[in-house]
Structure 1
Amino acid sequence: MTAEFVTPSSALPGRPAPFVLEAGDGERAHLFDQLFTVLLSGDETQGQFGVFTMEAPRGPAVPTHSHPDVHEIFYILDGKVRVVVEDNQGGTVDQVLTTGDFGYVPAGHKHSFRVESHRARTLGVSTGGFERFFAAAGEPTESRMPPERPVVPSPEQLGDAARRFRNDFHHDVRLID
């Protein structure tokens, strides 16, 4: 069996089918100071999970948020990322993850993260469908680098993407100062 090669100008297969991507390929989007690249979507996994990378420079924390039915993992490919997650007792787990470290955020738990090193790259896995939040909230891009200037969506665009992709922002809760 021969795998499909997905080129940078094409979308992911959109159905369960073997395929390969070359380094840097996938569906890319800029959001805030981050580059997100979707490598596998819920379309290819029958809604089971999505896989993406995030690359960003040191910067402010991502706003505190939760996903009522979306699980999420962080695997640090390079750099340092502080991950703060609400625990089961209402406290927090606050950990700086470094290359090779892993973090898990169960559905419904408030969380935030911030790049602590000059630059960081993470691999993320989430419940299928959520991986497309980044393009809906930000801007699809052909660039393979984080944006030179932050891509800040309008409140309407961010709110629409949050509703569509099950992402609840908690503006009254700040997990990282």
Structure 2
Amino acid sequence: MTLEFTQRATGGDSPFALPGSPVPYFLEAGEGERAHLFDQLFTVLLSGDETEGQFGVFTMEAPRGEAIPVHSHADVHEIFYVLDGKVRVIIEDLDGTRHDKVLATGDFGYVPAGRKHSFRVESHRARTLGVNTGGFERFFAAAGERTEARMPPVVPLIPSREQLGAAAQEFRNEFHHGVHLHD
């Protein structure tokens, strides 16, 4: 039996390219589809394309900052696993119960589909691993801007209302304007 090895996923024509189908591949630290949105760097490591729509995996790195706007996605589940730092995750359950927890390095949080939620980096800097229902991981590039940078933006990237609205519609992300879950 011969074992064939695949190329690194980013070895193609684009520094953003993942394989696009369920094939084995490897990424070195910092590789993947990178995008800036607000003050954050999102790096997609695995997309719904590679898992036949089942799930996507990404990292988020950001400095302490403002809370992400309250939002929900009816058919997307999402997890937060804190790799480094502290991140406050706030979730509103379907009955209105508010769950507010500061997650530290090694802590885990789960946001079921359809729940309003927000998060905010509470430490000087934080890095999380996120897993979501397949396909949603590409929202960040659609709402923000693809980048070759390996660090969060120095100047926050604020998308236009039109760009953010188009990305929200494409990825079934509903923003709840005027709703504040955080203090």
1:136 equivalenced with 2:142 (yes/no):
yes
Counterpart in 2 of 1:31?
37
SS of residue matched to 2:36: strand
Counterpart in 2 of 1:76?
82
- How big is the alpha-carbon RMSD for the aligned residues of Structure 1 and Structure 2? 1.0
In the alignment, residue 164 of structure 2 is paired with which amino acid? L
Aligned equivalents of 1:87, 1:28: Cα separation in 2:
31
Normalised TM-score (structure 2): 0.94
Give the alignment partner of residue 157 of structure 1, picking from 143, 163, 168: 163
1:111 equivalenced with 2:114 (yes/no):
no
Aligned equivalents of 1:83, 1:3: Cα separation in 2:
37
Give the Å deviation of 1:10: 4.9
Runs of 4+ in 1 over 2 A off after TM superposition: none
Counterpart in 1 of 2:173?
167
CA contact (8 A) 2:39 2:155 kept: yes
Aligned equivalents of 2:172, 2:94: Cα separation in 1:
20
- Which entry has the higher C-alpha Rg, 1 or 2? 2
SS of residue matched to 1:4: coil
Counterpart in 1 of 2:21?
15
Aligned equivalents of 1:169, 1:103: Cα separation in 2:
20
Listed as ranges, the gaps of 5+ residues in structure 1 are none
Give the Å deviation of 1:91: 1.3
Counterpart in 1 of 2:57?
51
Deviations 1:121-141 (A, max 9, x none): 000000000000000000000
Percentage of identical aligned residues: 75
Aligned equivalents of 2:24, 2:136: Cα separation in 1:
21
1:3 equivalenced with 2:6 (yes/no):
yes
Deviations 1:119-161 (A, max 9, x none): 0000000000000000000000000000010000000000000
In the alignment, residue 6 of structure 2 is paired with which amino acid? A
CA contact (8 A) 2:16 2:34 kept: no
Counterpart in 1 of 2:68?
62
Listed as ranges, the gaps of 5+ residues in structure 2 are none
Aligned equivalents of 2:33, 2:44: Cα separation in 1:
5
Give the Å deviation of 1:88: 4.0
